[in-house]
């Protein structure tokens, strides 16, 4: 799946997807809701992954 295809399925911009993938933008609650619906997961799963990344970055500093 391309970034554009994913963006279209989530009804968001490709730039937003690209920035998330590059680590330039966090997964927001809105994005987490959209991803959870699309991939039949939970919002908590996506926000937990973001939280884990945020903690990892904080520990590195």
Note the pLDDT of residue 24.
96
Q: Which two tokens stand for residue 57?
A: 């970055």
Domains (ranges, CATH) in the chain?
Answer: 3-60 (1.10.260.40)
Note the pLDDT of residue 20.
97
Note the pLDDT of residue 57.
94
d(CA 55, CA 44): 16
pLDDT (tens digit per residue) in 14-55: 999 999 999 999 999 999 999 999 999 999 999 999 999 999
Spell out the residues 6+ positions from residue 54 whose beta carbon is closer than 8 angstroms to its own.
26
Note the pLDDT of residue 55.
97
Burial of 17 (0-12, 13-18, 19+ CB in 10 A): buried
Note the pLDDT of residue 31.
98
What's the whole-model pTM score?
A: 0.90
């Amino acid at each position: 799946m391309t970034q554009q295809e994913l963006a279209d399925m989530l009804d968001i911009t490709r730039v937003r997807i690209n920035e998330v993938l590059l680590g330039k933008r966090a997964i927001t609650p809105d994005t987490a809701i959209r991803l959870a619906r699309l991939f039949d997961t939970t919002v908590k799963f996506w926000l937990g992954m973001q939280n884990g990344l945020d903690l990892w970055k904080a520990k590195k500093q």
